[in-house]
Amino acid sequence: MNQFFVSILIILVGGFLSLVLARQFKLMKIVAVFSLSAGCFLGLMDAVTKLLHSGSEAVSFKYLNILSLAFQIDGLPAFFLVAIFAVCLLAAIYSFHYMDQSVDAVRTAVHYFFFSILIASMALVVTAANIITFMLSWEIMSLSSFFLVIYNYESSENRKAGYLYFIFSHVGAMFIFAAFGIIYGYTGSFGFGAVDSIPQAAKILVFIFSFIGFGSKAGVFPFHVWLPHAHPAAPSHISAVMSGVMIKTGIYGIVKIYTLLNFHTPLFGNIVLVAGVISGILGIVYALGQQDFKRLLAYSSVENIGIILIGLGIGMIGVSSGNQLMAVLGFTGGFLHILNHSIFKSLLFMGAGMVLHKTGTRSIDALGGLLKNMKITGGAVIIGSLAICGLPPFNGFVGEFFIYIGGFKGVSLDTSAFVMSCFAIVGLAVIGGLALACFTKVIGVAFQGEPRTKAAVNVDEKGSTMLLSMSILAIACVLIGLFPKMIIHLPLKAVSALGLGYGHVSLEPFEQMTANITLAAVIFLVSCLFVIAIRWFFYRGKTITKSGTWGCGFTQPTVKMQYTGSSYASFILDFFRPAAPLEENHPKIKGRFPLKTYYKSHVNDIAEFNMKGVIVNPVLFLFDKLRWIQHGDIHLYIGYILLAIILLLFFI
């Protein structure tokens, strides 16, 4: 446990030092990045060793007999720590060249300060071993990330995003408080030890409350509304951390509550699975409709959270129906997807950050042809996109493959589990197809073709630390996809540490599966290389001419002739019109020689669209009625205090 705390300490000290050194921009960045990454590296090493040796350690501190802080690292926390420290390590390195506006030295320093707190609090959330510690770290995590979201507070859009995030994270925390309150009411202790002794009805209530609370952090539909606003607002490496790992703490919470409750009803699995399928499909549909690169990635996080939940749901159904293999496959697939998603999503956000940094725009339809000048970024983003679509031989495939297999194991079960498994398989397939459409849109429009606006012309990709982080992540995507055997132990250890009545987890079927994946991937790669070799062989000695993309033989081609992202997505969105209403704004074209015209479209998120009518307006109405309490008279305010004191005196 000591190494863990030392790494947390290094991270926090780094954040603090950056405040002290705010005047020396370069020195401050070096110190901050170095200590953040050193701390993360130490923590990563510690977490990996703990996970592989199935070690379990616990520490607790007491202060004044009231406030007791307890921490524990075993399989599940260690697994999440691996993801947290790995992504934060690379994000910290990435930030060195990303934060190069020395005008904003103080703001950058403050950003490092909150970044360090965010890393530390995420690590503490997953290691917390009682309710107080958990909620304390949870709140610190929400607040520190709030300050990072409003990094560019000048823009009112970002302030609105921050406000939305603040409200969502606190309403979510309220639900978690309610769940913990029920637990405390029955057990009378803040510890996690006796949670499974509460009655069954209360267990269901606790699970639903905590699912809403943690789901709003994780970005489960319909509690995801804050996510596509807040993630693009933050600096890109922070978006990478938030999308990559912070929302996973919500998943951690759901899994933790599930294991603590130790109540294997099919209901939980069904809830999680259905929520997963819905957020998966809708998340990717909305992603498809976005024109903002980072917003698109944020919606794609909703989709991936959906995939993770499908995995967990299959695992829970497997546990409740006593099918060991299905349970382990579902949980392992879900956990592996957590790790994988944190890798490729942070990669994609870093790529989007590079594009934003060099072109100054987040709009996909303003870009084009970036691959020509941004070879490494483009290549990394392509790898990340292939991985996020779940295509072999990349890492996204492996996790989804396990979930699929788990789903197919469930098909042989009785009615409800059968229906759910089929639902999951169909859902996963739909999600995969739509994800492919979504990311071909990104690659095709932003990275290929010709530059659509001036912003995308003559870009470069300077910034070695940014390229380094992206390259490492891209290589990780490929390596995990090719040799899943070396990484599969991490989620398997975490799953077996859950201790969910399926006994000892045998490794053999997994070794078999991973070996097959490797074999298939190698065959695929070899055949790819073979095709390339054949091409090279036949084109040898022939002249190859290069011309502009989408030239199509026109003598006077213009970049406006290119296919846009919106038109590419529109016919898929048409099908999902009931769930994703498209708002179009363009004047009717009149006459034979129409003058200049415009076209604007916007895909409405039904959750966000209906939130105003269903929740915001009634709440505002209610609180408008209470406005008389704030009358501005200081004497009556003092009267309120007196009243409160008297009430407390008599009733407590």
User: Rule CB under 8 A: which residues touch another protein?
Assistant: 630-636, 638-639, 641-642
Which residues lie closer than 8 Å to 629 by C-beta, 6 or more apart?
none
Task: Give 539 or 637: the residue with its C-beta nearer to another protein.
Answer: 637
CB of 633 to another protein, least distance (A): 6
444-449-453 Cα angle (round to 5): 105
Task: Give 64 or 589: the residue with its C-beta nearer to another protein.
Answer: 64
CB of 635 to another protein, least distance (A): 5
CB of 475 to another protein, least distance (A): 55
CB of 174 to another protein, least distance (A): 24
Task: Give 528 or 619: the residue with its C-beta nearer to another protein.
Answer: 619
Task: Give 508 or 633: the residue with its C-beta nearer to another protein.
Answer: 633
Strand-pair category, 67-73 with 57-63: antiparallel
| Tokens linked to 12 | 């926090």
CB of 651 to another protein, least distance (A): 14
DSSP H helices, 53-153, are 75-98, 105-127, 131-149
Which residues lie closer than 8 Å to 585 by C-beta, 6 or more apart?
599, 600, 601, 602
CB of 616 to another protein, least distance (A): 19
100-443-458 Cα angle (round to 5): 50
CB of 7 to another protein, least distance (A): 39
Which residues lie closer than 8 Å to 173 by C-beta, 6 or more apart?
135, 138, 139, 142, 213
CB of 650 to another protein, least distance (A): 10
CB of 642 to another protein, least distance (A): 5
CA distance 252 to 126: 7
Task: Give 201 or 641: the residue with its C-beta nearer to another protein.
Answer: 641
Task: Give 523 or 644: the residue with its C-beta nearer to another protein.
Answer: 644
CA distance 137 to 68: 13
Task: Give 552 or 649: the residue with its C-beta nearer to another protein.
Answer: 649
CA distance 245 to 342: 6
Which residues lie closer than 8 Å to 27 by C-beta, 6 or more apart?
21
The CA-atom distances, in angstroms, between 174 and each of 217, 254, 320, 335, 602 are: 12, 15, 29, 26, 32
Task: Give 475 or 629: the residue with its C-beta nearer to another protein.
Answer: 629
Contact 387, 394 (CB under 8 A): yes
Task: Give 58 or 636: the residue with its C-beta nearer to another protein.
Answer: 636
CB of 630 to another protein, least distance (A): 6
Contact 336, 402 (CB under 8 A): yes
Task: Give 593 or 650: the residue with its C-beta nearer to another protein.
Answer: 650
CA distance 388 to 476: 13
Contact 253, 217 (CB under 8 A): yes
End-to-end CA distance of the chain: 41
